Structure 1
Amino acid sequence: MPEHLLIESEGPAYGPGATRFVTDAAHLVRAGGTTALLLVDNAVFAALPGACDEVADFTGSGGELLVDAYAFHQRALAPDHLLPGARLVEMDEVAALLLEHGTRVVWH
């Protein structure tokens, strides 16, 4: 289980706040923490190649990239277009992460 679970709901099209949040997630990974980043709502677009360099940096640093399957499919996106290492997740898995003792959760 990750030490940190960061949840992004907006994505890069909504301004620099989302990219700064993802950059913070990458800093946590590089500092040695186990960190998962969950993209929900319109942030799922950031899981596509070329959409957000900061997300690619996060995964390249060793972060775990989770993508809300429901939001992803609602936007008619194809799973074979996900960034390498990204994983579609259902809400039951997210609920388990949220309830895991010791996991710190931050939602943006």
Structure 2
Amino acid sequence: MVWAVMGGVLLAPAGAMAGEGLPADVRAFVHDAGICQYLGGEIDSSLPPDRQKEIIRKSARYCTGIDRRQLRLGAKYAARPDIISRIDAYDFGNPK
């Protein structure tokens, strides 16, 4: 039951933030970035080993290359401030 609730927590905010009217690549980035950011806050050495492994597995899925995707999308949509504001809402260490 906890896992089902957690899955809903992961997807609901990301889906709500994705927003309609954004290009598909930006929607995908916002979705993955939201989950990546959430997972970053979940890492804790006091968690059971199986939960730690699950967080690491999901982090690899959603976070790998997210900084490069942010840069690539920022360059692609540089002339679209409405889209840039969505992309730049996440801090993955890239210069703004």
Class of the TM-score when normalised by the shorter of the 2 chains = 0.3 to 0.5
Q: Which TM-score applies when normalising by structure 2?
A: 0.33
Larger radius of gyration: 2
Higher helix share: 2
Higher strand share: 1
